[in-house]
Structures are given as C-alpha cells and as structure tokens.
Structure 1
Amino acid sequence: MSAMPARPRLRSALTRGIAIALLAGFCAPPAALAQDFPIEFLRMMAARRGAPPASVRTLRQLLAAQPMAEAEKSRVAAILDAAEKDAAAGRTAAAQRGLAEARAALAGTPWTPAQAFASSLDVAPRTPILDAARPVAMKIGASYEAVTPPGARLRLSLERRGGPAISLGEKPLVARRTETVTVAIPAAMATGRYAFISEIVVDGASLARSSAQVDVVRDLASAEARAERRLAAVKASEDAAATVRYPYALAKSVASGQRELERPPLADRLTRSDDVLTALEAGLDPIRHGVGDQRRAYRLSGADELMPLRIYVPTTWKPGTALPIVLALHGGGGDENEMLEVDGGKFGKLAERYGYIVVSPFGYRPVGAWGSPITLPSVYGSTTKEGRAVGGPERARMLELSEKDALTALDRIATEYGADRKRMFVTGHSMGGGGTWYLAHKHRALWAGAAASAGPFFVDGYDLERLRGMGVMIVQGEGDPPSLAADRKLAADLLIRGIGVTYLETPSVNHGQTFGASLPSIFEFFERQRLRGNPTIKLPLK
C-alpha cells in the first residue's frame, strides 16, 4: 500500500520560493531513468532501436540481480553477448533464439529441444475482437527455426478476471514457419473483456504460455444493422448519431489494424450506444446539452473517423450560462477517459464545485502527442539528441490529426454550451503536459492559462516569450526524477526571463500520482486568473 501524498508546496513567481541552486544541474542516474521514465516513450524508443538490443539490456539487468552460481551467470552473459552481436549483424533469428535461451535460464527452465521449439512460437488472434458468430482465426509464427517435437499441440482458452478458464480446445502443431488455425467461441459465452491464453504443450506439459487481451462480441454485423434501422426511425443530433455508431466504427478500425483495442471494453461502448438509442426512441437526446459526466463521439474532418470524447458539464449549467472551459490532455497510451477518472473522478468533482466545463479528447491515437513532435528522453534542458529523428509522413499525419482532434473537440463543446472563451484553459499530464506546452505556445491567443503536469517535453526552438502575460503553472512530484529536473530548470528559466510561473512540487508522489495530487491547486490557479484586470474579486474564490 502506498503512503498518502504529503501536502503540496506551492511556489510562485510572486514569491521567492524557487531557489536557483535547487533548480539547476540535477541528472537522474541511469537506473532511475530505466525504472521511472514514462512507459509510453520507452515503448517508442524500443520500437525505433529494434527489439533484440532492448531485450538484451533488460535481460542483463535481470541477470545482474539474479541469485545464481557465477558459472551459470557467465554462461548466460555469453549468450546475451552473442545475441547482441547477432542483432547488430542483422541475424535476427539467431538473436531471438539466444534471447529465448537466456530467458529460460533466468527462469530456471531447462533448455531442451522441446523448450526451444515452444519458445520460438508466437500465437495471437488475427484481431483482438472475437465474434462468437464466426470462427476465430489464429496466426502462429516462429521467430526462429526449431524442430517440432512429436505430439506438440496448441492449447487455447479464455479467462475472465475472477472466473474460471473456458477451454477452446487443442490443435496439433506442424513444422511450418507460419500457419493459421481457427477456433470457435462457445455460443453461450458472455460478451466482454477476456484474456486469450495460448499454451504450447508437449507430452502433456505446458512449456510456453502467452496472454492477449481480447473483446468477445456476438454477431456484430447484425447488431450494427439493427442500430442503423433504429437510428433511421428517430430524430438525433449529429453527435448523438455518432455516439450510437462509434463502437461499430471502432470494431472495423481495430479489425483493419488502424486502431488498437481500447481500455474500455467494446461491450461497454455497445451498451452506451444502445442507451443513447433507447433515449432517442423516447424522444430525448441525451447528448446535446447534456450535463454531468458524458461519453460521446463526433466525426473528425480530415481523418473521416469517429472520435470518442468525454466531457464534464456542471449540473448547474443552463442555456445562456457562459462557463469557463478546460481542455484536458491525457498521457501517452491513454484515452479520453483517463483524465476524468484520475483519483476516482476528482476532476469532475472539482469542475462541479468551481463551475468549469471539462473537455477530454482522445487525441486521434493514444500516442498522438497532441501535435507536439516530442522526442524523449530529450526533456527541456537536455543535451541528449536520442530519438529526434522520429518522423515520416505517417507520424506527421498522426501529430496533425491529434492536434486537430483536441482543438476541434474544444471548439465544438465551447460552441454547444456557450462557454466563456475568455476563460479557456489547457492542462495535461506527461505526454499531455508536453501537449500543453505545445498548444499553449502555438495557439497563444486561445488561452487564459496553462497548467502542465510532469511534461517538460519541448521542441527545439520554442519561443518562451510567447508565454509572457499568460498564466502558466508547472506541477511536479518529487518522486518523478526524469521530468523533475527538467521542470525545475524550465521554471527557473522562466523566472530569470521575468515570465510569471507558478511552480508546484508535491513531496512523496511519483509520475503517475502527480496530476491527481495537484488538481485542487490547478483549479485554484485557474480561478486566480480572474484577478487579472479584476483586483476587486475577493479570495478565496471557492
């Protein structure tokens, strides 16, 4: 159980709370970097460098901490050295075999011919959405050549958290590099999120096991046809219709490989779709001008895709009420639900209390970065150039559409609810913190203030002078070494330039805890922006 976070310490440009000596020169040691760096960017870095070298580094770290005889450690180290050389020379299959042997040794598993075969295979459904109305195709691939033992079989099952495994049967394995097998989903199986378990079995023993997250649905094509017939028979706003259609569009995008499975199970999206349809059939539009916590969708021009969107509108809102509005940007790998689910829905509770509309977009893709070509670990002030070559037409398009999704969603909701555009704010965490800096800098005229949480991910050439005169806040946790040093330096540089900044650093919280711990202070900061030009407003505001 983690300790309760200590009370945040607020430091402002109006005080002398930031000591320059504290802000300069901090550099996290490599071990801390490997452990604490935001996981979404580590994945991006691994993909650029190639999996074998990254795996060699990881296994070396595990080997160093492994209690085993020195002779065995030396043997495994030699295997890893050879795998690294094979990877560098382009001998990927040999490198993968070496890595598999090293992993087996670290797990205490004998490296037999049968184990070498089992470790060579990669088994996964062709799509993570499994329709019980039709057979499911499984792709079996081998990362290196190995002799198939007699009687080798593939055992498949589905598991739900807290429930028993549901067997999908066993299939014989043949000595081919790749093959496809099909399995049937039991007709009576409940829909929802499952773990798809694949096991390689030889002589009755399970030698390798892998798990993939899947959603089980039932006859999705027929369900979509029924939804379209029901939708055609009612009057619906554009976004209500988009919300009804979204889960079916998502399923097609996932099946085609354009999108990944989302954190909310598809079954939840389908339930939301049906609930909206039921309300429309009763003569009510639950989307347009709805209040409270809302899950909805809209069509993003340029992408020609339906984008999910989550918003919070105070229950006190009435037409003609111009409320302030906040754009909330999630971290890498997240979705539109992340920000409004921090600390049990703290964002929505504070929005209700202070009277703010919150817009939490998806960002086109989980690592769309809100348009900012972030290139970690090149945080603010770093001399590291690692990863600055990330790009290409596909990446450029993702960045463009991620930015467009954020700004389009904000504009649509601001228009629909008549928000106060003079009190428009942007905030975000981690990748969303980097997006906050990027959008605040690029679209300076939009914002009354910006609050970036643990996201000092800057593009070379940012002009900090563009932030002069705008309310700027930086929030950090003392347990977040990689971005902590960069945010301290950024705050110091802003102060040295005479650019106002409010700096909040919370003791005893890590990267994932920073935003939730800071949210009350972020809302207080947004409220204090009303004092600009309004010195008669009394504090505290809430």
Structure 2
Amino acid sequence: MTHHVASGFSRTIAVVALLLIPSLAAAQALPNISSLNVRYNTRKATVKPDGELKVQIDAVDKEIAAANRLGKIGEVRRQIAKGMSLLDGIPWTPALDFQNSLALRSDRIVVDSSAPYALRLEQIYSPAIELTPALTAKVVLRKRNLVPSPGAAATTVPAAPRELGVFDGLSRDLRESPLAMELDVSGAEDGPYTVEVGVMDGTTAIATTTLGIVLHKGLDARLRALETAAATVIAGVRADVAYPADYIRNVNRGRIGLQTFNVGTEVAAAEAVLAAAKGGKDPFKGRTGDFERHYLLEGPNEVMPYRVYVPKAYSPTAGAPLVIALHGLGGNEDSFFDQYSKLPPQLAEKHGFLLAAPNGFRVDGFYGATIMGAGDAAARRRVEYSEKDVLQVLRLMKATYNVDESRIYLIGHSMGAIGTWALGAKYAETWAALVPFSGVSSPALAERIKGIPQFVVHGDNDATVNVSGSRNMVAALKKAGANVTYLEIVGGSHTDVVVPNLPKAFEFLAAQRKAAVATQQR
C-alpha cells in the first residue's frame, strides 16, 4: 500500500482535530474539554456513522466548530453531548438538553468538613425546554471510592446517601439566577463523596447533576502547618513539603482536576518528609526505588510533581542512562509507573536506567507540541509551560544524579508520543533515542531528528490517533535516512500495543548511545 505523506498527515489531523479546543475557565464540575473531544472523536471513529446519522453528526460538528470559533465552550460541551447521544443511538430530547446544561460549582472541591459547604447549581448554556415555575432541588451526599490506581482491586462502598436538604424557588434560568446553597457536611467521615442535586418538578425528578468532592476534617489547619514549616527545611525539599497545600489550592481554584490525588495519603507523605528533613537533612539523598519529587515551576508559580525511579545498582560515581517518560492526554506523572502493567520501573531496574515522569503542567499540555496550531492564549500557555515542565525535570535529574548525557532517552504514549517527536525535534542534541507509541507529528520534522535512533509502535486499529500518523512519520524518517524501527501491530488499538512492546523498546534504548555529546540544554 502506498501512503502519501501530506494527505495522510491531514487525515490523521482530522481524527484529532478537536484536541486543542481551548478550555476557558474549566469548571470544577465538568470534565476536561480536550478529553471530551478525544472521547467524541474516538466514538465517531469507532461507530463510523453513515446515512442519516452521518448527516446529523456532520451538523453537530459544524456547530462545534462555530461555537469554538466564538469561544462558546458551554455550547461546545452541549454539542459534544448531543453528538455522543446520537452515536449511542439515543435521540437528543429537550430533557437531555436540560440535563446536560446543569453544573454544580463551588469554591472548594477539597473541603474541610468542619465548616459549612457552599455550593451553586448553575447552567452552562440555555436549554430548549419549557419548565414549570414550581421547581425544587433535592441534595444528597453519597460516599464513593477514589479513582483506583490501574490494577488495584476494586472496593465496594454501600450506597447510604445522606440528605442535605431540599431547596425551593429554583429559577428556570440558572444562568441568570444560580441556586446558592450552604450545606452542613459535619460528621461525615473523611474521604471522597459525590454531591448529587436532583431537580424536581413536584415529586418527579427531571434532571440530576453531580459534583465529586473530598471531605477531610481539620484539613485547613494541617495544610497551613505544612506551608509554614516548608520554610524551615533545606531549599531542595521545600516544594515536597508544600505540595499538598499548593495542589489542593489549585484544585479549589478550578485550575486542575483532583484526578487520583489522595488527600489523606499526600498530606501524610508531606508530613513524613517534613519530619525526616528536620535538622537540615535531605530525606531523598541516597534513596533508590520509586518515589515522587516536587519543585516550584516559575511563571505559573505552581508546585509540580514528578515521579522518579532510581535503580538499586545506581552509583553517584558512574553515569547512569536516563529515560524521560511522557504520559498521554488525561494522565499525570503516575501514568508510566502505575499503568502499563507497571512495567516501566521494572524495566528501568533491569537495565539500570534512571526513570523520570513529568506531570507536563496540565493533563492536556502537549509538551510544547503545536501541530494543531497556536490556539488561544490559554492553550498557548498550557503548551509553553508543559514544555518547560519537562525540561525542568530533565535539569533536576541531571543536577541530582550522575546522568550519562550520551544516554538520555525520551518516550511517550499518545499525547506523550506527540510530545516525544516535538521535543525530540526542538532539542535534538539532547536525546540518544526516541520511542513514540501511538503518536502523530508533522513529517516536516523528520529532517531535524534523522540523526536520532527511533523505535515507533502503532496499532492499525487505533480509533483515537489514526495509524497513518506513525506511517507517514516513519516514511519521512526513512526517506531522510534515519535509523528507525517501526512495529505496526495488526488489530492493535490505541493502548493495547504499549505493554507487549515496552520490553523491546527498552532493549532498543539500551543499545543506543550518542557518538558525541553536544552542548546540553540547561
């Protein structure tokens, strides 16, 4: 089969064309807009609508594009919900339109249960529905599980909702007049909950919306104590102590999502670091194995986490290879450690590699890649700081450990693969090898990275990032004379191609070394 580079790249971009729709003022109650777009595009690629359904979906896509041009993100969410409903064979009704318009918002998602909890019921767009004036809102609190780590055993929490109140006089236009509520959550045990608000017409529930929160009694005092104490430890450990307070503050401000952040575990970990750092000690000095570190990223002035694996055989007197691992959209610094059957740290131990996984600033940062265009100011900021986060983690690893600068490798999956090719091209003198799984890039970059050995993996049944993304890039690399190994997995999906091929990828990395070390980015 012959693949045409330019047109193939355009086709691949069409599959991920909505990845970088700007997420203006991302609401705490709502999923990340980039993740929504990926789900929607993946669903379209899976269903392959035709006939009348294709006509309907094409109309939805036009509405999404128009709303995006105008910065109407609420309308983008509405149209994605409509498109997903149609793709699932569910007619889009006024009731569904109303349901998807609702949102719960609060100034706090991580909550000290000692104080009353303020919450608002709002709408992100005006739905096309006729409502009676006799609406009420019934609020209940349900215990739930934290998002489990991949591979962790599922636990069952019995549903025992606690009623928090019924509120009369609900406006039919919640954009103009949101419903403000003050809820008594005292007495609830620490942990994750769902606040559920049902909109009632008399005794009939016509819509329900939810907000995930975490309750923790006495949390505010513990966070204040950590922030105060951070100034008393050595400079290199301050961010590790301050991290929970900084992260929770940014969650509550709506800058980031809670994701897999476990409030109790993270606060306790910071308190343990603080205790171990007393007297000017560095609790991380000489440590091996898997652990998390933190630093203050200048610009946004946020504490960034990054995950580290130091092999048992590491010695500060001998240079060690370093792998920088970039997660996919919606992931974080934990992805390459807790997902993919937890193989990356095992393989790092086997080969004697240092392994570091940055957060990438945001779940949709894209590590400096701009293949979709510059986007709005918020998107440009995410992309810029995502790149800076990766580079800063690289600098910190080189400053902390004896890194063999002729053996620094970059790997990534999905969005991380996009970042691998982007940063590989921008800082070509840094990397001894690149490993992108299920990625896409501009073939025009091939000339810049033709001197870097590459191990590329993609499934031919990938409904998220079309396989043409890797096919066309590999063709351009081979034309440029690059040393590239390409594995195209028959029947492989977007994610199931990673685990079986990680051992081969690490074997490939182990064989790669730069002939001469150029001046490194510092």
Using structure 1 for the length normalisation, give the TM-score: 0.74
Same amino acid, percent of matched pairs: 25
**Residue 393 to residue 106, structure 1, CA distance change in 2 (3 Å):** closer
Residue 517 of structure 1 and its aligned partner are, at CA, apart by: 2.5
User: Which residue is equivalent to 2:519?
Assistant: none
**Deviations 1:490-540, CA, capped at 9 Å, x for gaps:** 21222223222111223343112233232111111111114969xxxxxxx
**Deviations 1:98-156, CA, capped at 9 Å, x for gaps:** x88x96997689968xx987675433334422331322222222433753442523333
User: Which residue is equivalent to 1:188?
Assistant: 187
> Could you say which structure has the higher helix fraction?
1
Residue 85 of structure 1 and its aligned partner are, at CA, apart by: 8.3
User: Which residue is equivalent to 2:122?
Assistant: 141
User: Which residue is equivalent to 2:166?
Assistant: 170
What runs of 5+ residues in structure 2 fail to find an aligned partner? Answer: 25-32, 146-155, 517-522
Q: Are the counterparts in 2 of residues 309 and 362 from structure 1 also a CA contact under 8 Å?
A: yes
**Residue 216 to residue 433, structure 1, CA distance change in 2 (3 Å):** same
Give, in whole Å, the separation in 2 of the partners of 1:417 and 1:106: 55
Are 2:497 and 1:514 aligned? yes
Q: Are the counterparts in 1 of residues 432 and 514 from structure 2 also a CA contact under 8 Å?
A: no
Q: Alignment partner for residue 20 of structure 2, among 44, 47, 59?
A: 44
User: Which residue is equivalent to 1:362?
Assistant: 359
User: Which residue is equivalent to 2:484?
Assistant: 501
Give, in whole Å, the separation in 2 of the partners of 1:88 and 1:343: 38
The within-5 A match list for 1:380-399 is: 388=373, 390-399=374-383
Q: Which moved more, 1:393-402 or 1:303-312?
A: 393-402
Give, in whole Å, the separation in 2 of the partners of 1:246 and 1:192: 19
**Residue 155 to residue 363, structure 1, CA distance change in 2 (3 Å):** same
The within-5 A match list for 1:409-448 is: 409-448=393-432
The within-5 A match list for 1:80-479 is: 121-142=102-123, 143-144=125-126, 146-150=130-134, 152-161=136-145, 162-163=156-157, 164-167=159-162, 168-175=164-171, 177-228=176-227, 230-231=229-230, 236-281=233-278, 285-375=282-372, 388=373, 390-458=374-442, 461-462=444-445, 464-479=446-461
Residue 238 of structure 1 and its aligned partner are, at CA, apart by: 2.9
Residue 346 of structure 1 and its aligned partner are, at CA, apart by: 0.5
SS at match of 2:339: helix
Give, in whole Å, the separation in 2 of the partners of 1:166 and 1:264: 24
SS at match of 2:267: helix
What runs of 5+ residues in structure 1 fail to find an aligned partner? Answer: 1-20, 67-72, 376-387, 534-542
Residue 335 of structure 1 and its aligned partner are, at CA, apart by: 0.9
Give, in whole Å, the separation in 2 of the partners of 1:339 and 1:94: 34
Residue 314 of structure 1 and its aligned partner are, at CA, apart by: 0.5
Q: Are the counterparts in 1 of residues 136 and 166 from structure 2 also a CA contact under 8 Å?
A: no
User: Which residue is equivalent to 1:69?
Assistant: none
**Deviations 1:462-487, CA, capped at 9 Å, x for gaps:** 3x233233212211123215431221
**Residue 313 to residue 33, structure 1, CA distance change in 2 (3 Å):** same
**Residue 374 to residue 26, structure 1, CA distance change in 2 (3 Å):** closer
Give, in whole Å, the separation in 2 of the partners of 1:149 and 1:352: 65
Give, in whole Å, the separation in 2 of the partners of 1:94 and 1:43: 16
Q: Are the counterparts in 1 of residues 324 and 356 from structure 2 also a CA contact under 8 Å?
A: yes
**Residue 507 to residue 289, structure 1, CA distance change in 2 (3 Å):** farther
Give, in whole Å, the separation in 1 of the partners of 2:249 and 2:363: 17
Residue 399 of structure 1 and its aligned partner are, at CA, apart by: 2.0
Give, in whole Å, the separation in 2 of the partners of 1:107 and 1:308: 41
**Residue 148 to residue 271, structure 1, CA distance change in 2 (3 Å):** farther
SS at match of 2:391: helix
Give, in whole Å, the separation in 1 of the partners of 2:258 and 2:64: 34
Question: RMSD of aligned C-alpha atoms?
Answer: 4.4
SS at match of 1:144: coil
Give, in whole Å, the separation in 1 of the partners of 2:455 and 2:207: 49
Equivalent position amino acid for 1:491 in 2: V
Q: Are the counterparts in 1 of residues 190 and 215 from structure 2 also a CA contact under 8 Å?
A: yes
Using structure 2 for the length normalisation, give the TM-score: 0.77
**Deviations 1:422-451, CA, capped at 9 Å, x for gaps:** 111111111111111111111111111111
SS at match of 2:126: coil
Give, in whole Å, the separation in 2 of the partners of 1:194 and 1:330: 27
**Residue 501 to residue 461, structure 1, CA distance change in 2 (3 Å):** closer
**Deviations 1:192-223, CA, capped at 9 Å, x for gaps:** 33333222123333221223332223343311
Equivalent position amino acid for 2:342 in 1: G
Give, in whole Å, the separation in 2 of the partners of 1:82 and 1:321: 58
Equivalent position amino acid for 1:466 in 2: R
Give, in whole Å, the separation in 1 of the partners of 2:230 and 2:479: 59
Give, in whole Å, the separation in 2 of the partners of 1:404 and 1:31: 30
Equivalent position amino acid for 1:325 in 2: L
Are 2:510 and 1:527 aligned? yes
Equivalent position amino acid for 1:477 in 2: G
Larger radius of gyration: 1
**Residue 338 to residue 499, structure 1, CA distance change in 2 (3 Å):** same
Q: Are the counterparts in 2 of residues 310 and 359 from structure 1 also a CA contact under 8 Å?
A: yes
**Residue 203 to residue 110, structure 1, CA distance change in 2 (3 Å):** farther
Give, in whole Å, the separation in 2 of the partners of 1:496 and 1:489: 11
Number of residue-to-residue matches in the alignment: 475
Give, in whole Å, the separation in 1 of the partners of 2:62 and 2:386: 36
